[in-house]
């Protein structure tokens, strides 16, 4: 469990909070590049408790501004995107992507000239942006020169080896949403089937009580979960937590690696991104389409958004139009009690929706004072400690957060592998985890001992 003080420190990310200050030291994903059109409509954004608008000016440069115009506070979402700037429609003040006011046409003395001269005191709050791997990123921190962007492997591979697998808004705090990825023991239950009891190397495994080995890394925390796989082998699943909110949960046996980003919209809502990559081969067109089977027994119908379900095209005045799942807590995530009795453990259609139902059901901010944790929760405990330690060190000593200036520490992978019992997972999969191996996890492990 956590004390009330630690739970508040962990979960609150708005301006002026210790965890919010920690997050602002890192680059934050904002929108997919394709969501912003040059000279097109602004896009409502809310990140770390701040209301913002994202836009791409007529030259193609992305910008991220505070939603409120600094003149009278009207929303720049209604602004006109024209001639390398965003113009507030209330009085015509215009701002470029740096936030500088470049036109004040309602002021007689300006005569349409840039308000930078002579004083340059009027600016919209703006954050530096960069584009990488099909995503617009922003830096919210205090440095005049932002830190380097992390060298995540999916940012570095050719485009055909990386895909935006799915996205959604999760209606709960970022920490409890992310902790689902740090919890390996739930998989054979929540994501399991009652029709088939055992499938080697998958969620439906006969060994439902994993033993964890946890190590702290330069960029976060890593665990390896061991399960019995017959009398001579162990089935290993490894997951990487990367500061401040990334998880690389177990790769497929073939070597496709998923990476979630759990980005706080505010204290009550979370943006979930799933970026997936294969370091060894291009994705097929079907894989790039991001389709997953619709329901536990069908092979002909498919869920869109890689299993997260349909997304509502518009959400009125809420941020992130097109990110809100139509299956949510208001309709019990599409649970089917007949399917729960006869096929799947939950009756909820897909893995992302099953995860969402559990984390959202805890309330928007979980009460960790009432938890009773066990050994299977070791990774959750260690990640919380790492985050709390980093937030306090920044707040109290001004210490630089882990890996913020070490982009190379983000070149890591996760794995699934079946190894003989005498083989040490860290040695057998070390080159793979460090993103140096050109073999799949299974091929890499076979170099040490034959199966």
CA–CA separation, 446 and 440 (whole Å) = 10
Are residues 195 and 237 located together in one domain of the fold?
Answer: yes
And the tokens for 60?
A: 């193609």
pLDDT at 195: 61
* Residue 386 within any structural domain of the chain: yes
Question: Where does a domain end: 86, 109, 139?
Answer: 139
| Chain-centroid distance, C-alpha 237 | 20
Are residues 211 and 189 located together in one domain of the fold?
Answer: yes
* Residue 8 within any structural domain of the chain: no
Are residues 123 and 159 located together in one domain of the fold?
Answer: no
CATH of the domain at 396: 3.90.380.10
Q: What is the DSSP code string of 259-288?
A: EEEEEESSSS-EEEEEEEE-SSSPPPHHHH
Q: Which of 49, 386, 435, 420 is nearest to 243 (CA)?
A: 386
Is this structure's pTM higher than 0.85?
yes
* Residue 195 within any structural domain of the chain: yes
Are residues 79 and 171 located together in one domain of the fold?
Answer: no
The range of the structural domain enclosing residue 97 comes to: 36-139
pLDDT at 315: 61
Neighbouring C-alpha atoms within 13 Å toward the C-beta of 443: 8
* Residue 29 within any structural domain of the chain: no
Number of other residues whose CB lies within 10 A of the CB of residue 446: 17
Are residues 170 and 111 located together in one domain of the fold?
Answer: no
Are residues 118 and 157 located together in one domain of the fold?
Answer: no
Question: Where does a domain end: 113, 139, 165?
Answer: 139
What's the count of helices (H) and strands (E) in the chain, helices before strands?
Answer: 12, 22
pLDDT at 107: 87
Are residues 63 and 208 located together in one domain of the fold?
Answer: no
CA–CA separation, 236 and 225 (whole Å) = 6
Are residues 238 and 358 located together in one domain of the fold?
Answer: yes
Are residues 264 and 190 located together in one domain of the fold?
Answer: yes
Instruction: Classify 135 as helix, strand or coil.
Output: strand
Element (H, E) at 295: none
Are residues 161 and 124 located together in one domain of the fold?
Answer: no
Dihedral sign computed on CA atoms, order 244, 246, 250, 254: negative
Are residues 85 and 225 located together in one domain of the fold?
Answer: no
Question: Where does a domain end: 88, 114, 139?
Answer: 139
pLDDT tens sequence across 3-30: 999 999 999 999 999 999 999 999 999 9
CB–CB of 44/319 below 8 Å?
A: yes
pLDDT tens sequence across 319-364: 999 899 999 999 999 999 999 999 989 999 999 999 999 999 999 9
CB–CB of 119/148 below 8 Å?
A: no
CA–CA separation, 130 and 145 (whole Å) = 13
CATH of the domain at 78: 2.102.10.10
Low-confidence ranges of the chain (pLDDT < 50): 110, 112, 114-119, 197-204, 291-302, 450-451
* Residue 145 within any structural domain of the chain: no
> What's the structural domain count of the chain?
2
pLDDT at 290: 60
Instruction: Classify 63 as helix, strand or coil.
Output: strand
* Residue 25 within any structural domain of the chain: no
Are residues 180 and 266 located together in one domain of the fold?
Answer: yes
Element (H, E) at 45: strand 43-47
């Amino acid at each position: 469990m956590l004390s009330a003080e630690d739970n508040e420190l962990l979960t609150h990310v708005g301006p002026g909070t210790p965890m919010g200050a920690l997050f602002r030291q890192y680059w934050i994903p904002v929108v997919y590049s394709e969501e912003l059109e040059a000279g097109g409509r602004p896009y409502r954004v809310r990140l770390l408790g701040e209301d913002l608008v994202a836009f791409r000016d007529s030259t193609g440069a992305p910008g991220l501004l505070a939603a409120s115009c600094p003149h009278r506070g009207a929303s720049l979402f209604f602004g006109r995107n024209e001639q390398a700037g965003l113009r507030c429609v209330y009085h015509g003040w215009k701002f470029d992507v740096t936030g500088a006011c470049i036109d004040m046409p309602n002021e007689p003395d300006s005569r349409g000239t840039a308000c930078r001269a002579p004083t340059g005191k009027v600016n919209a709050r703006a954050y530096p942006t960069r584009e990488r791997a099909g995503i617009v990123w922003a830096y919210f921190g205090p440095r005049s020169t932002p830190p380097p962007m992390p060298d995540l492997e999916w940012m570095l591979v050719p485009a055909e080896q990386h895909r935006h697998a799915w996205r959604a808004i999760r209606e709960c705090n970022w920490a409890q949403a992310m902790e689902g990825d740090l919890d390996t023991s739930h998989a054979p239950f929540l994501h399991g089937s009652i029709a088939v009891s055992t499938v080697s190397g998958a969620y439906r495994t006969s060994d439902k009580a994993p033993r964890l080995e946890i190590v702290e890394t330069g960029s976060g925390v890593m665990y390896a979960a061991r399960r019995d796989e017959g009398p001579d082998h162990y089935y290993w699943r490894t997951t990487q937590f990367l500061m401040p909110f990334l998880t690389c949960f177990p790769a497929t046996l073939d070597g496709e690696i998923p990476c979630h980003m759990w980005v706080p919209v505010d204290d009550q809502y979370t943006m979930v991104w799933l970026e997936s990559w294969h370091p060894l081969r291009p994705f097929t067109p079907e894989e790039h389409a991001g389709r997953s089977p619709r329901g536990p027994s069908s092979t002909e119908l498919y869920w869109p958004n890689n299993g997260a379900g349909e997304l509502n095209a518009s959400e009125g005045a809420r941020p992130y139009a097109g990110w809100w799942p139509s299956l949510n807590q208001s309709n019990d995530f599409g649970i089917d009690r007949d399917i729960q009795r006869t096929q799947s453990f939950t009756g909820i259609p897909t893995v992302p929706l099953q995860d969402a139902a559990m984390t959202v059901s805890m309330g928007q901010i979980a009460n960790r004072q009432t938890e009773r944790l066990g050994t299977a929760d070791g990774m959750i405990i260690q990640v919380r400690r790492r985050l709390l330690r980093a937030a306090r060190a920044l707040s109290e000593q001004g210490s630089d957060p882990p890996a913020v200036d070490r982009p190379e520490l983000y070149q890591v992978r996760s794995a699934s592998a079946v190894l003989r019992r005498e083989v040490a997972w860290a040695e057998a999969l070390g080159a793979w985890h460090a993103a140096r191996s050109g073999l799949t996890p299974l091929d890499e492990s076979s170099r040490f001992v034959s199966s």
